[in-house]
A and B are shown apart, each in its own frame.
Chain A
């Protein structure tokens, strides 16, 4: 393959869609403000934007050419600024072939090519035929027969490579407890703001108003809110269903391959040596039923662009977690004695959480009015603070640190010592008076990295934790162990 080639013309459409996705906020703002003006000018503007995007997509497709020459992928692209992108075969670590809805309609695939290294570069061909993709992977693969060659991986697949799937029942549970209400709500609100002016004059709306008794204003608001919530729930239900349907995870010699998605097929490859941390998130709706989601933080191989978080397994019973880690990432399996914030820290947790609530309530009070009774809603704020206090814990041994905390969902992070980038202890002026301190640990993840923090530890405990990253750190040696509570981390039936 030595001639420069173009992708399939469908790439123009996928590119236009990518443009919309990248500028979603701008588009939403235009939609919201545009609707206020109303009338045909807005429609024209909208149509103009759409045509512009299509033209931009087509031009982008026209200018995008690629070839493979001497085991080097060469891409030339750019409409105004021309870019040349070269990537040699030796540096390529991962080739992922996926297909979105549009690609599937035309029987095409998307090829993503990623390099090794902490600042992973990535090239992607958004629409090529399957045969073309095979030729490409063939050309870009390392020396045939090397351990990383897909053929061998594929044959290992057949020969009983460890494979994990998500049973239908678990998928349904995952979908119904997925808490992505917030996103769904905001989408619905946007759509509603578009439809509302139309509804306003329609007969349905008048009929609805006529049926509703005039006095029950609160009832009306409550029922509308309820309707929103039900809609949001349905959206997050189907969103999760489509996203994680057909989930399977296979273990290979030096990488984990995750395939998932019903309409949009995704394949995510995570090399073991890029994994920086494991994170178990127990959502508010899941924790009561004993379920959680397992994420890995990886350097440069995220689910989405720029992020390093990958859903390793969408739904798992707490009791099965230990066995799961044992089979997939045994070095992240541990059972440590927990250090917890001392009881005197509880007031600080509660005040901080209640303050957030108070701010939100003040905002609502100011915008919507409402009686003083809304200040009773501060009580959940206190409760939230207490929960955050109760769930904060940390544990260390020579190899890893486990930090548990809660924002809304309870999150337990396991970081191995040879993956932690730094450790920081900090204390504010008031904390020093009260003998408290925070500890946080950074790991590389995606573009920025990620921080795991535990707040309000006894400052002596914090000082014992701080040397964890020192070369000759030994936890629990002699009488010098970090004073731990009788609680265990992660504490998911490890000993049972």
Chain B
């Protein structure tokens, strides 16, 4: 009843491993925001009672663990789980560590596609491809800059070629 070929092949392309390093840096800087939580708690309630100290320590430890995870394990897992593929009919994205998502975007629906680079990505010569439909926006993050340009051009070429089936 479930024939194997009916189930779409998994997307095959990976993003560049250099993405891991870029994500580590941006997580190291960006996740510092979380430290507001223990600091805020400390400035609001102080650390006078022993229970206050305990709560403060737990909060600080939790945030620290999250921060460390954000610069060690998570970028690697994120990279490991990311797959994409593009052919003349569909864009196929698969990603996610705990929640795995697989999205299919028909090229006929692509309205525009662009690449963008933040400062960290630019340092590593990486770029993110953003694909917009009339309803949603999807990203292929941290591709090699040349690959990103190629991907963008391919998508926009296919999107032009794909006939409108309205």
Q: Which residues of A contact B (CB under 8 A)?
A: 118, 273, 299, 418, 420-429, 432, 442-445, 448-451, 460, 463-464, 466-467, 469-471, 479-480, 483
- A299 adjacent to B134 (CB under 8 Å): yes
Give the interface size class of chain B. 20 to 34
Q: What is the distance, in angstroms, from B116's C-beta to the closest C-beta of chain A?
A: 20
Residue of B nearest to A422 (CB): B105
Q: Which residues of B contact A444 (CB under 8 A)?
A: 133-135
- B166 adjacent to A449 (CB under 8 Å): no
Q: Which secondary structure dominates chain B's binding surface?
A: loop
Give 8 nearest A-B pairs by CB, closest first. Answer: A449-B135, A444-B134, A421-B133, A421-B135, A471-B89, A424-B103, A442-B135, A426-B101
- A422 adjacent to B104 (CB under 8 Å): yes
Given the interface pairs A421-B133, A422-B109, the reply to whether A467 lies near B6 with Cβ below 8 Å is yes
- B166 adjacent to A418 (CB under 8 Å): yes
Q: What is the distance, in angstroms, from B164's C-beta to the closest C-beta of chain A?
A: 8
How far, in angstroms, from A464 to B7 measured CA to CA in the complex?
Answer: 6
Given the interface pairs A118-B111, A480-B3, the reply to whether A422 lies near B138 with Cβ below 8 Å is yes
- A428 adjacent to B98 (CB under 8 Å): yes
- B6 adjacent to A422 (CB under 8 Å): no
Q: Which residues of A contact B99 (CB under 8 A)?
A: 426-429
Residue of A nearest to B98 (CB): A429
- A469 adjacent to B106 (CB under 8 Å): yes
Q: Does B144 contact A (CB under 8 A)?
A: no
- A480 adjacent to B111 (CB under 8 Å): no
Given the interface pairs A273-B166, A469-B104, A470-B89, the reply to whether A422 lies near B2 with Cβ below 8 Å is no
Given the interface pairs A418-B165, A466-B8, A471-B89, the reply to whether A425 lies near B133 with Cβ below 8 Å is no
- A471 adjacent to B90 (CB under 8 Å): yes
- A464 adjacent to B2 (CB under 8 Å): yes
How far, in angstroms, from A480 to B1 measured CA to CA in the complex?
Answer: 6
Q: Which residues of B contact A299 (CB under 8 A)?
A: 134
From B1, B101, B136, B165, give the contact of A421 (CB < 8 A). Answer: B136
From A421, A445, A460, A467, give the contact of B8 (CB < 8 A). Answer: A467
Q: What is the distance, in angstroms, from A239's C-beta to the closest C-beta of chain B?
A: 30
From B90, B100, B134, B166, give the contact of A426 (CB < 8 A). Answer: B100
Q: Does B13 contact A (CB under 8 A)?
A: no
- B102 adjacent to A466 (CB under 8 Å): yes
How far, in angstroms, from A173 to B146 measured CA to CA in the complex?
Answer: 63
Q: Does B96 contact A (CB under 8 A)?
A: yes
Q: Which residues of A contact B96 (CB under 8 A)?
A: 426
Q: In chain B, residues 83-117, which have Cβ atoms closer than 8 Å to a Cβ of chain A?
A: 89-90, 96, 98-106, 108-109, 111
How far, in angstroms, from A471 to B107 measured CA to CA in the complex?
Answer: 10
Q: Which residues of B contact A448 (CB under 8 A)?
A: 135
Q: Which residues of B contact A480 (CB under 8 A)?
A: 1, 3, 6
Q: Which residues of B contact A479 (CB under 8 A)?
A: 1, 3
Q: Which residues of B contact A470 (CB under 8 A)?
A: 8, 89-90, 104, 106
How far, in angstroms, from A152 to B108 measured CA to CA in the complex?
Answer: 34
- A450 adjacent to B102 (CB under 8 Å): no
